[in-house]
Amino acid sequence: MENILHIGGVSAAELAAAFGTPLLVYDEEMLRKRLREYRECMTNKKFSTRVAYAGKTFLCKAMAKLVREEGASLDVVSGGELHCALAAGFPAKDIVFHGNNKTPDELRAALEAGVGTIVVDNLPECEALAALTRQTGTQADVLLRVNPGVEAHTHKYIITAHPDSKFGVSVTRRDELYAVLGTMRASGTLHFRGFHAHIGSQIFDKAAFAAEIEALAALAQETQQRGWPAEVFDLGGGFAARYTDEDAPIPVPEVCKTVLETCARETEERHLALREVWIEPGRSVAGEAGTTLYTAGWQKTTDHRQYVFVDGGMADNIRPALYEAQYSCDAAARMNEAKTQTYTVAGKCCESGDILIESALLPPLETGDLLAVYTTGAYCYSMASNYNHLGRPAVVFARGGTARCVLRRETPQDLLYLETEE
Ligand SMILES: Cc1ncc(COP(=O)(O)O)c(C=O)c1O
């Protein structure tokens, strides 16, 4: 191994010198390969399939273009994400629009743009959407998001009798569910295509997806008998990424096989009208492809720890502070040196909780050393803030030995752009 970390064939030192730190670097080939792998593994004789990258994970115009080039669809959850996708030239027909509280303006924008699928989340939204189609003279293909009562997080999944999620209509609330389906039918403009569900995140157990499909299939069998056949199952995302050595995500071919086989079995056994199976991976596409480069600043020794401070933190990666997410890191220019020192890697924000990694074994660091925190491609930039008036980092796509900046660094001047007074 070289003593210096390379990402997409470009050395971390070169990247830091050219673009500064903190810097979010994507291995572009890894992003593409992941999308391709999903598309290939979902290819199937029985079902037509769709892989919709979940834009909330990380979205900018370059990412939307890349998703398009790899033949995937795109899932968006707000007017802002929709705007970004359309600005990148992403075909509206291949966009899936989600959200538990899409505003009338957002729904109108989606209808006017001709968004391919709107995922209806609840009854009042359905009624508003139906009214909007009448006002605008538009139509829409819709899925109904249901809460199948299967909840999965990391290694465990549970089947709950009374799910309380804010998303979707619970399968236990059949009256409401049929009221939504009835509203769709009565509208004449909302074309019910099937069901959507999303059961959680960072799921390591493929049985959770099988349980999700079984729950959807049981529902679809009933709705079919009552005149609402579901042609589409959109199973959402939730496929895990590797953050630390303890994580062992289900290989993509394996999870896709489980999904397709379970759908086929349920379709046959229950005589379902199911023809299309969609998935919406986010984290497992973008997570591991992203690495954040930081510059080490001052160190501090306490009775219990050796801190190393970095030039970013919770403003560019809120996940450790928000839900104790675990990360791993390396000294990017000392890859071959013995790891003899345990550090707490802390950010520069004015919060005691601004700790990126509680305990990282690294070679002894000096001020100015580069630190690479891995698997920061998902839900870091998209959740970034300007806390402490820190600008968001630049984002670079590196591939085949060259790097291109796809989002420039936010400057202190940028942070004044909303000010209305001199
Ligand atoms: C509806 C929906 N689809 C897809 C995703 C992507 O999930 P993940 O990044 O875990 O694959 C999410 C994440 O919250 C979601 O809510």
Say how many Å lie between the first and final Cα of the chain, rounded. Answer: 54
Q: How far apart are CA 121 and CA 110, in angstroms?
A: 15
Residue ID of nearest Cα to ligand 1 atom 10: 238
For ligand 1, whether the C-beta of 55 sits within 6 Å is no
Question: Is the pLDDT confidence value at 158 over 80?
Answer: no
Residue range(s) in the chain whose domain bears CATH number 2.40.37.10: 6-22+290-376+393-411
Residue 79 CA to ligand 1 center (angstroms) comes to 17
Residue range(s) in the chain whose domain bears CATH number 3.20.20.10: 28-286
Closest CA to 261 of 41, 107, 79: 41
Q: Which residues are catalytic?
A: 350
For ligand 1, whether the C-beta of 281 sits within 6 Å is yes
| pLDDT tens per residue, range 38-78 | 999 999 999 999 999 999 999 999 999 999 999 999 999 99
What is the pTM (predicted TM-score) of this model? 0.97
For the domain spanning 6-22+290-376+393-411, the CATH number is 2.40.37.10
Model confidence band, residue 165 (pLDDT cutoffs 50, 70, 90): confident
157 vs 197 pLDDT, higher one: 197
Residue 348 CA to ligand 1 center (angstroms) comes to 30
What is the reported pLDDT for 151?
A: 83
For the domain spanning 28-286, the CATH number is 3.20.20.10
What is the reported pLDDT for 183?
A: 98
Q: How many CB atoms lie within 10 A of CB 417?
A: 8
What is the reported pLDDT for 420?
A: 96
Percent of the chain with pLDDT over 90: 95
| pLDDT tens per residue, range 292-304 | 999 999 999 999 9
Under DSSP, the state recorded for 37 is H
What is the reported pLDDT for 185?
A: 98
For ligand 1, whether the C-beta of 284 sits within 6 Å is yes
For ligand 1, whether the C-beta of 196 sits within 6 Å is no
CB 59 within 8 A of CB 81: yes
Measured from the Cα of 201, ligand 1's closest atom is 10
Q: How far apart are CA 117 and CA 92, in angstroms?
A: 9
Question: Is the pLDDT confidence value at 160 over 70?
Answer: no
What is the reported pLDDT for 327?
A: 98
Question: Is the pLDDT confidence value at 343 over 60?
Answer: yes
| pLDDT tens per residue, range 346-399 | 999 999 999 999 999 999 999 999 999 999 999 999 999 999 999 999 999 999
Question: Is the pLDDT confidence value at 157 over 80?
Answer: no
Residue ID of nearest Cα to ligand 1 atom 7: 237
| pLDDT tens per residue, range 235-293 | 999 999 999 999 999 999 999 999 999 999 999 999 999 999 999 999 999 999 999 99
